[in-house]
Amino acid sequence: MTIIGSQIEEINAIRKNLGSTTINIKSNVEIDSIKRKKAVIFKDKKEDILEFIFKFNINYNEASSISITGTIFYTAGKKTLDNIEGQWKKKKKIDTKSVLPVLNHAMELGYKNAFSISEKLRLPTPIKLPRFVEKAKNE
């Protein structure tokens, strides 16, 4: 099971009045669709891959939002690809354990892009960044 690439397809962002001093930030990532393709990037032969289309969303107080859609290219053994594709076709869901690396990669891509977008729109960063703090005098 290997992620062989990814790309961002679409970015939508909107900033509206946040309305209060308390800002609730909610984020989620979901798989929107899965497509089986022949990969042309392999030199010797064309192997089957799965394209995971994902959506990453961040909502600020239900008014402002950042939405990122992208594709993750995934390869594995034929049996694994068949299993994932079969689950998706039947239920439009997949066993999370099977695609944990894909979900993590989608989340990473989403947050990496959301940081610069939130800065441009003057929205809070989607996750708290670490900060240096001064040591207390009695320590």
Q: Is residue 127 part of a domain?
A: no
Region of residue 56 (phi > 0: left; psi between -120 and 50: alpha; otherwise: beta):
beta
Q: Is residue 130 part of a domain?
A: no
Which three-class secondary structure state does DSSP give residue 130?
A: coil
Burial of 110 (0-12, 13-18, 19+ CB in 10 A): buried
Q: Is residue 28 part of a domain?
A: yes
Q: Is residue 87 part of a domain?
A: yes
Q: Is residue 67 part of a domain?
A: yes
Q: Is residue 103 part of a domain?
A: yes
Q: Which residue type occupies 43?
A: K
Query: Which residues span the domain enclosing 51?
Result: 2-120
Query: Over its length of 139 residues, how does the chain's per-residue pLDDT go in tens digits?
Result: 689 899 999 999 999 877 777 888 999 999 999 999 887 766 666 788 999 999 999 999 878 999 999 999 998 888 989 999 999 999 888 887 878 999 999 999 999 999 999 999 999 899 888 888 888 877 6
